[in-house]
Amino acid sequence: MSRPSILVTRRWPVAVEAALSERFDVTLNKADIALDTGQLREALRAYDAVLPTVSDKLPAALFEDEAIRTKILGNFGVGFNHIDIAAARAKGIVITNTPGVLTDCTADIAMLLLLSVARRGGEGERELRAGAWTGWRPTHLVGTKVTGKTVGIIGFGRIGRAFAQRCHFGFGMDVVFHNRSAIDPMEAARYGAMQLQTVEDVLAASDFVSLHCPGGAENRHLMNAARFAAMKPSAFLINTARGDVVDEAALISALEHGTIRGAGLDVYEAEPNVPERLSAMDNVVLLPHLGSATEETRTAMGMKVVDNITAFFAGREPPDRVA
């Protein structure tokens, strides 16, 4: 009996590629260049399983082909808004993701961004590397104190809670949050947090606003011009969720006009493209989607995909099925 044929769309950790190769007939993308629409269409025709990442866009049009062979998409990542779920489901394609294993590392990156933008770390490093630092002086790169400030969290799932824990117990911050469903106050108190009724309530109260909600149609441009105007002029935005949660044009305008003080971003609307006006700003810290980028986490994510597709082809329910 032949083994299922699998396409891995990007290079994965060596241990994960080895595990896949032991169990399946695997094709690797050795060039590690994102596949274009035509290549993805051919992949859906040629393989029993395709293992995509956030860099692979799978819109509805790709699933209109009558010759689709793929039975499962084993997504490498928690978010799956780069896949048209309804169109894939209509073709009978199962979709899985990799929740749980990247919680701490993504929360760490959110904390890194918050500290960096508050204390102007990015500006300082650029100045020093450029040879422009003239020495210590009392008014040089004066930033914002973090301890005792209020952080507002939009989305209180695993990552939002881990971030709240770091802010409250690590830095003595007050934590408020908005979540689409009610959280037991006793559970929220474990993280030093209090739930507020609306996003606007959180924005008005917060010195830092950190996004930890899913991407996709439901939350597209959740942060828009009106909501930036609802923030304090001294406040900072942190985004480690998904790029489409933020209207980048509105963010750029808010930063340029002083509607908010700064931003720390790890994700963007049209990755890997970042608007030049955003890149040119000193009051913005930019990272290249590093949320889960530790050896331990990326390997754990890959092994979750291995477990999901192994279960599927063995006739069992994949543990992390989302559709």
Catalytic residue, candidates 220, 271, 277, 321 = 271
The conformational region for residue 217 under phi > 0 = left, psi -120 to 50 = alpha, else beta, is alpha
Is residue 22 part of the annotated active site? The answer reads: no
Catalytic residue, candidates 242, 261, 269, 298 = 242
Structure tokens at 64: 């209109």
Catalytic residue, candidates 23, 119, 289, 321 = 289
Is residue 10 part of the annotated active site? The answer reads: no
Is residue 298 part of the annotated active site? The answer reads: no
Active site members: 242, 271, 289
